[in-house]
Amino acid sequence: MTDARNPPRERDASFQREALPWMDDVYRFALSLTRDPADAEDVVQETYLRAYRSWHTFQEGSDARRWLFTICRNAFLRSRERRRQEVGLEDGDAEALSAMQFHQQMIDDGTDRLLARIDLAPALRDALQSLDEPFRSAVILVDVEDQSYEAASEIMGVPIGTVRSRLFRGRRFLQKKLKDFASDAGFSPAKS
């Protein structure tokens, strides 16, 4: 079926111009979700197939990257529905207090200064890979892909408050993993 407003040739050209340049970004996002290159390729293929089929719904001038990320995340979630776990977001105040205490402990024992001096790229990559969904999506979208809370909310299909909560908990997990990395690597905080 062809769209009378957008003949097939124009539609194909528009898709190539607007959607295809983001394929590397979509793959990187899919890989961060799946943690497996072959699965990521499958999710990207599904993303672009869905995007092409729905291209007539894309509004010119919109953010194609954001639109593709939304489709990618939905394709990933559909592929993982059976394994998807429900995550409770209760006890937010206790979480905040615990995070503040943990951060203060890192300042007090010097771990924060230590982490500022060592190469954290491998540890951060591993920590991101071990972060459970949906926290990983929030961290990747906001902290790695530099999306706004509003964009992440739209992509993830959840309220902004949920994005903030997931981001908070994801960052806290990463903070603990990095502290453990420094300790396991034999680094110890400087004594004051």
pLDDT value at position 87? Answer: 42
Contact 174, 139 (CB under 8 A): yes
Scanning the structure block, which residue is given the tokens 């340049």? 21
Q: Where are the domains of the chain?
A: 8-79, 92-184
Q: Which residue has the higher pLDDT, 52 or 110?
A: 52
Token pair in block for residue 29? 């996002």
Condensed to tens digits (0 to 9), the pLDDT of residues 36-50 reads 898 899 899 999 999
Digit-coded pLDDT (tens) for 149-161: 899 999 999 998 8
Q: What is the mean pLDDT of the chain?
A: 79
More confident residue, 144 or 180: 144
Contact of 176 with 166, CB cutoff 8 Å = no
Assess whether pLDDT exceeds 80 at residue 77. Answer: yes
Confirm if 115 and 109 have CB atoms less than 8 A apart. Answer: no
What is the CATH number that goes with domain 8-79? 1.10.1740.10
**In angstroms, rounded to a whole number, what is the distance separating the alpha carbons of residues 123 and 135?**
17
The pLDDT of residue 88 is 42
pLDDT category of residue 176 using cuts at 50, 70 and 90: confident
Buried b or exposed e, range 82-121, using 16+ CB within 10 angstroms:
eeeeeeeeeeeeeeeeebeeeeeebeebebbebbeeeeee
Q: Does the pLDDT at position 191 exceed 70?
A: no
CATH class held by domain 92-184 = mainly alpha
Reading the block at residue 27, the tokens are 């793959």
Average pLDDT over every residue of 170-191: 73
Q: Which amino acid, residue 170? A: G
What's the sign of the alpha-carbon dihedral 125, 177, 143, 149?
positive
